Amino acid sequence: MKQQNLAINELREAVLRMPADRLSATRTAAIASLKQNGLPTLRHEDWKYTDLRPAIEISNQWLAAGANNTASDTVADAIATITSSLDANWLLITNGVIDTSHFDRGASIEIARFSDTSAPPLADKPLADLNAALLNDGLKIHVHAATEKPLGLLIIDAADTGASVSQVNIEIKIAAGCDAELIEYQASLGTQDSYCNSIISMQVEESAHVSYVRIQDRRIGHTQTARQSISMGAASDLNMASYDLGGGLIRNDLDIDLNAPHANVVFNGLYLAGDGQHIDNHSRVDHRVGPASSSQEYRGILNGRCRCVWNGKAIVHKGADGTDANQSNHNLLLSDHAEIDAKPELEIYADEVKCSHGTTVGQLDETSLFYLRTRGLDRRQAKQILTHAFAADLVGRTPIDMTRDTITALVGARLAVLIQEELL
Amino acid sequence: MSSENIESIVNRRYEHGFITDIESHGLPPGLDESVVRAISTLKKEPQFMLEWRLQAYRQWREMTEPTWAHVHYPPIDFEGISYYSAPKSDADKPQSLDEVDPKLLETYDKLGIPLHERARLAGVAVDAVFDSVSVATTFKAKLSEAGVIFCSFSEAVREHPELVQKYLGSVVPRRDNFYAALNAAVFSDGSFVYIPKGVRCPMELSTYFRINAANTGQFERTLIIADEGSHVSYLEGCTAPMRDENQLHAAVVELVALEGAEIKYSTVQNWYPGDENGVGGIYNFVTKRGDCRGDNSKISWTQVETGSAITWKYPSCLLRGNNSVGEFYSVAVANNMQQADTGTKMIHIGANTSSTIVSKGISAGHAQNAYRGLVKVMPQAHGARNHTQCDSLLIGKNCGAHTFPYMEIKNPSAKIEHEATTSKISADQLFYCRQRGISEEDAVNMIVNGFCKEVFKELPMEFAVEAQALLNVSLEGAVG
């Protein structure tokens, strides 16, 4: 398969047009690294099922058109709708540009731009080069103490007049002993193709407790590669839930490092895919020290012509005794054209461990469908009820109570469309 | 357990390690077209075989060694290997066991395989592959009465070229992978089985493999064809002499099950695993694949893997026929410095196909043991069903257990389940056994045998006993 290359020369020119600031040196280094290493292709084991060509095509279109992102007028409305539905302290990133106008500066949270402080060193991860090369600006967030409202990150991409490409880089530090709530909301607007490449890294310090909800509700014309790297301190907790509802090509990489004993991580995910969607969730948990625990459950509902990928990897390093790791993944495959590629991986180098994984792929239970039909429901209604029930379990696991209604509504609306799509 | 006792167990040498000083006549090390031609000439092969080998050789030259397996080893010098060796008495091959070189029989005795006795007592026809040329085939008459063809591959090429030509490479194509291509170019011998329509093979067929001459890679090729409605159970077992240089073994096994046929293929693999420091040992890079070509056919793989320094083996099933069934039962033990990357592939192509995978991996010492498997359901494979259970048992602090299961599901009517667990022998379990007066070593053996029970019960009787004993020997010194 021929891999289309990123237009490096145009990219270099676009970077040269960016203002000189504290990020300039990293941008130059990133271009060199990008030129040498390129972007991952299907030949890379981690990218076996996800073809990045749409991201390259959108990037090249955008570069050819002068690398401008024009935010549309409708963005303000969209922002208003989202921020009013969820009462959080919002930081906005619109087409890669940081906007702190909705953010209420308080004593508990400190924020700083990369351009005012320093850019982080170039990470040795796929797509980190692209991010660093084109990054407009990044944000450092330091949560010192528990806040009244959750911290909100609204990442919105709008493409009205032409393709849009944005880079997001956020570094979050949760101070020792602090309880923090975080809501990440991703949305997109416009009729043209957009691509967002994001990196969010989070350091959870000793005895801190983090609740994290991630809602991805992008348009079908949106392509996304998102990497989250989370590092856990001693006796810290993370409870995370991700909801992938939209998007054309979505690739999420979640890396969690358990560096100190007694850390405890729970992360769950729900992905709903219909016609034209490709949703890929990769996670990697590194148990470096024990005792510690990690647990994940992902569920997928696939209908229409779509493909989902789930790859959960747990690595128990030598000496990480007392590790308890488990992964589970369940999929409802509702159409002849849907495909799921699942791969639960365990790499274990210690013996005092308990590790398990389970994966299932199946359909709605015919007996249950029959039961509902004997109660006078038609087949579509019966399917809807059972599909909702499959998803409801994960909706109920959102760690931030105030998000439950929004998530229930979004999942409900998405499922209604998904089931409609089915040819009965 | 006293430390002295542990010491003595740890230091026990590989029981089956010795070298028979039979003069072998072989080809000098190195590989080029002339070597391929020489092998073909030595074996008096028809033209089609030579061409097939040459094409494979040319394709192999263009391929690169795979590196994706979770194993580490120094690069293999393919020019340093001799690609053909044979016992000297090749020219006038023995017609019966009485004529077999007594030194060979001695070798089998040392291994605890009294060939004729075993064959007679157990009712097993043994096609013993000693190095590269088959030297004894028994019970031929009884088999031919049933119409079963069971012979060495070289004989099959000469006697039944039409069958060989029709099926050779039809399951594992020449250029399937690097080692399969190498095998296709230089394979020396192997076994050939044909079970005619509607015949239930009157006895279990068995081959014992031995690697003997130094620096000789063994490249066996096995082809089993079960015609419509037939049934066969085939046993493969092996041990190898101790040697300090790594030896490459790249075998290819092809199974073809036509409509309503059933093939049961069982393996006990106990090749020299190298010493406790990882010196020596066999590199076992094997391609095994079964093709359920006809409707209602069934292929079942059972393996007990305790030997080899490195194992790289994925017995697979292509479930092409409607209602065809694939099974894979495996116990893989890795101790000391052994590395195993093994598993299976189940490719569901026909309608209502089902597959079962039960894999038990045991790691001890500094060993690395990985399960790698693929369950693929093609879009047309309606009603496919798979259940996979893969469990790992860790013994000791320095070993590793890994699972890499791939599931690619393209049909909505598929029901796929995958479960995996990893655990160690718990102190509670050991304490309970010791409290009842069972020694620690016996307790470990008991627990491990219990862990593997699901697989052992799939083995034919003779193998089940051997496998349990082998497992105990393999894990000696692992717990102290």
> Taking CB atoms and an 8 Å limit, are B416 and A353 in contact across chains?
no
Contacts of A336 in chain B (CB under 8 A): 379, 411-412
> Taking CB atoms and an 8 Å limit, are A358 and B422 in contact across chains?
no
Residue B92 class from Cβ within 10 Å (0-12 exposed, 13-18 middle, 19+ buried)? exposed
Q: Are A342 and A361 in contact (CB under 8 A)?
A: yes
Q: What residues pair up with B72 in beta bridges, in sequence order?
A: none
Residue B96: partners with Cβ closer than 8 Å, 6 or more residues away: B136
Q: Are B108 and B114 in contact (CB under 8 A)?
A: yes
Rounded CA-CA distance B239/B220 in Å is: 15
- Which token pair is B330? 């495996």
3-state secondary structure chain A: CCCCCCCHHHHHHHHHCCCCCCCHHHHHHHHHHHHHHCCCCCCCHHHCCCCCHHHHHHHHHHHHCCCCCCCCCHHHHHHHHHHHHCCCEEEEEECCEEECCCCCCCCCEEEEEHHHCCCCCCCCCCCHHHHHHHCCCCEEEEECCCCCCCEEEEEEEEECCCCEEEEEEEEEEECCCCEEEEEEEEEEEECCCEEEEEEEEEEECCCCEEEEEEEEECCCCEEEEEEEEEEECCCCEEEEEEEECCCCEEEEEEEEEECCCCCEEEEEEEEEECCCCEEEEEEEEEECCCCEEEEEEEEEEECCCCEEEEEEEEEECCCCCCEEEEEEEEEEECCCCCEEEEEEEEEECCCCEEEEEEEEEECCCHHHHHHHHHCCCCHHHHHHHHHHHHHHHHHCCCCCHHHHHHHHHHHHHHHHHHHHHCCC
DSSP B82: B
**Which member of B394, B409, B411 has the closest CB to residue A348?**
B394
Whether A327 and chain B come into contact, CB under 8 Å, resolves to: no
pLDDT confidence bin for B374, thresholds 50/70/90: very high
Query: What's the pTM?
Result: 0.84
Contacts of A358 in chain B (CB under 8 A): 417-420
> Taking CB atoms and an 8 Å limit, are A359 and B396 in contact across chains?
no
H-helix or E-strand spanning residue B434: helix B427-435
Residue A283: partners with Cβ closer than 8 Å, 6 or more residues away: A253, A254, A255, A256, A267, A296, A311, A312, A313
> Taking CB atoms and an 8 Å limit, are B415 and A362 in contact across chains?
yes
Comparing alpha-carbon positions, the chain B residue that sits nearest to A44 is B68
| B422, B425, B426, B444: best to mutate for the A interface, most A CBs within 10 A | B422
| A328, A349, A366: best to mutate for the B interface, most B CBs within 10 A | A349
B241, pLDDT greater than 50? no
Rounded CA-CA distance B401/B399 in Å is: 7
Our CA-based measurement puts residue A50 at a distance from the nearest CA of chain B, in whole angstroms, of 13
Residue B373, SS3 per DSSP:
strand
Residue B209: partners with Cβ closer than 8 Å, 6 or more residues away: B129, B218, B220, B236, B237, B238
Contacts of B397 in chain A (CB under 8 A): 318-319, 350-351
Rounded CA-CA distance A209/A418 in Å is: 35
Averaged pLDDT for residues B361-375: 91
pLDDT attached to residue B133 = 44
Q: Can you list the positions of beta strands (E) in B378-468?
A: 385-395, 400-409, 415-424
| B68, B418, B426: best to mutate for the A interface, most A CBs within 10 A | B418
| Sequence spans of domains, chain A | 8-364
pLDDT attached to residue A422 = 52
Rounded CA-CA distance A71/A347 in Å is: 45
Q: Are A59 and A167 in contact (CB under 8 A)?
A: no
> Taking CB atoms and an 8 Å limit, are B417 and A360 in contact across chains?
yes
Q: Are A339 and B410 in contact (CB under 8 A)?
A: yes
Rounded CA-CA distance A130/A381 in Å is: 46
- Side-chain half-sphere exposure of A191, counting CA atoms within 13 A: 2
The torsion angles phi and psi of B171, rounded to 5 degrees, stand at -105, -45
Comparing alpha-carbon positions, the chain A residue that sits nearest to B416 is A361
**Which member of B379, B396, B407 has the closest CB to residue A342?**
B407
Which of B210-214, B250-254, B339-343 has the lowest average pLDDT? B210-214
**Which member of A333, A335, A350 has the closest CB to residue B397?**
A350
Average pLDDT, chain B: 80
- Using an 8 Å CB-CB cutoff, list residues of chain B that contact chain A: 68, 70, 379, 392, 394-424
Q: What contacts 24+ positions apart, CB below 8 Å, involve B105-110?
A: B106/B20, B107/B20, B107/B210, B107/B212, B108/B208, B110/B16, B110/B18
> Taking CB atoms and an 8 Å limit, are B422 and A347 in contact across chains?
no
**Which member of A336, A353, A359 has the closest CB to residue B407?**
A359
pLDDT attached to residue B207 = 67
Q: Are strands B385-395 and B354-364 parallel, antiparallel or unpaired?
A: parallel
Residue A215: partners with Cβ closer than 8 Å, 6 or more residues away: A183, A184, A185, A186, A243, A245, A403, A406, A407, A410
Whether A357 and chain B come into contact, CB under 8 Å, resolves to: yes
Residue B100: partners with Cβ closer than 8 Å, 6 or more residues away: B94, B115, B135, B136
Nearest in space to B456 (alpha carbons), one of B330, B311, B364: B330
The residue that leads in pLDDT, A164 or B128, is A164
One-letter identity of residue A215: I
What ipTM does the predicted assembly reach?
Answer: 0.83
pLDDT digits (tens, 9 = 90+) for B327-356: 999 999 888 888 999 999 999 999 999 999
pLDDT attached to residue B28 = 77
| Sequence spans of domains, chain B | 16-424
Tens place of pLDDT per residue across chain A (424 aa): 345 688 889 999 999 898 888 999 999 999 999 988 888 988 888 999 999 999 999 999 999 988 887 666 788 889 999 999 999 999 999 999 999 999 988 878 999 999 999 988 888 888 999 999 999 999 999 999 988 899 999 999 998 888 999 999 999 999 999 999 999 999 999 889 999 999 999 999 999 999 999 999 999 999 999 999 999 999 999 999 999 999 999 999 999 999 999 999 999 999 999 999 999 999 999 999 989 999 999 999 999 899 999 999 999 999 899 999 999 999 999 888 999 999 999 999 988 888 888 889 988 888 999 999 999 998 888 888 899 999 999 999 999 999 999 999 999 999 988 887 554 4
Rounded CA-CA distance B390/A358 in Å is: 10
pLDDT digits (tens, 9 = 90+) for B270-281: 777 777 777 778
pLDDT attached to residue B4 = 57
Whether A317 and chain B come into contact, CB under 8 Å, resolves to: no
Q: Between A and B, how many CB-CB pairs are < 8 A?
A: 109
> Taking CB atoms and an 8 Å limit, are B407 and A361 in contact across chains?
yes
Rounded CA-CA distance A266/A209 in Å is: 12
B6, pLDDT greater than 70? no
Tokens 């058109």 correspond to A65
pLDDT confidence bin for B42, thresholds 50/70/90: confident
Q: Are A379 and A369 in contact (CB under 8 A)?
A: yes
